């Protein structure tokens, strides 16, 4: 595996984060009869939303996992409830920021100056979430951060008294 389980951590961030968000959006679409999300995805099934969620959720979920891991390392956070609270707050702020960037990327005045015309495509996921209710981001961020806490705990290393490393939580 990789050092400190980074591959497993970021894969879990991508797959779990995108799947949880896709399920939350599907619930939003199924039980809300208003807004453009219902019109856009009303005829699409759950598995199609999961498929597109994995594609369009790559950038936000990997960025979320990276920021959450940096937060936990800087503040030496080892409690699950702090990871959950930080994940909920971080997911809302990150989705709000990325949706704002997506709104700017759609503006035709900025498209000719873009070095990478793929940026609007990478920000489609947060833009679609912002079209609906942003409150769905809070439980998704909390659930994803709880999964990431246990992945980080499984691969985390701690120093023993004699300098040898051993897996924590094992």
Mean of the pLDDT values across residues 71-79? 93
How is the chain split into domains, by residue range?
A: 3-157
Q: What is the pLDDT of residue 115?
A: 56
Contact assessment for residue 19 and residue 54, using Cβ atoms and an 8 Å cutoff: yes
Q: What is the pLDDT of residue 2?
A: 65
Higher pLDDT, 90 or 123: 90
- Distance set, CA 105 to CA 53, 56, 98, 120 (Å): 20, 15, 10, 5
Q: What is the pLDDT of residue 60?
A: 94
pLDDT confidence of 28, banded at 50, 70, 90? confident
Could you please report the per-residue DSSP string of 57-114?
Answer: THHHHHHHHHHHHHHHHHTT---HHHHHHHHHHHHHHHHHHHHHHHHHHH-TTTGGG-
* pTM recorded for the entire structure: 0.82
Q: What are phi and psi of 157, to 5 degrees?
A: -115, 145
Q: What is the pLDDT of residue 58?
A: 92
Candidates 21, 13, 6, 32; CA nearest to 129 is: 21
Mean of the pLDDT values across residues 105-119? 64
SS3 content of the chain, % helix, strand, coil (to 5): 75, 5, 20
Percent pLDDT > 70 in the chain is 76
d(CA 10, CA 8) in angstroms, rounded, equals 6
Q: What is the pLDDT of residue 156?
A: 78
Q: What is the pLDDT of residue 37?
A: 58
d(CA 139, CA 129) in angstroms, rounded, equals 13
25 Cβ partners below 8 Å, 6+ apart? 37, 41, 49, 53, 128, 129, 132, 136
Q: What is the pLDDT of residue 165?
A: 46
Mean of the pLDDT values across residues 26-42? 67
């Amino acid at each position: 595996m990789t050092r400190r389980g980074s591959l497993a951590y970021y894969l879990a961030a991508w797959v779990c984060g995108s799947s949880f968000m896709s399920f939350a959006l599907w619930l939003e679409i199924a039980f809300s009869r208003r807004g453009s999300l219902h019109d856009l995805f009303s005829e699409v099934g759950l598995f199609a939303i999961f498929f597109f969620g994995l594609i369009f959720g790559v950038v936000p979920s990997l960025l979320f996992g990276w920021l959450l891991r940096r937060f936990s390392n800087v503040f030496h956070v080892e409690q699950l409830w702090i990871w959950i609270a930080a994940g909920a707050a971080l997911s809302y702020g990150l989705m709000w920021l990325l949706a704002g960037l997506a709104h700017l990327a759609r503006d035709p005045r900025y498209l000719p100056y873009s070095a990478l015309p793929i940026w609007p495509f990478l920000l489609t996921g947060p833009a679609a979430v912002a079209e609906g209710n942003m409150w769905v981001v809070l439980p998704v961020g909390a659930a994803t951060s709880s999964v990431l806490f246990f992945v980080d705990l499984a691969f985390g290393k701690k120093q023993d008294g004699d300098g040898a490393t051993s897996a924590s939580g094992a």
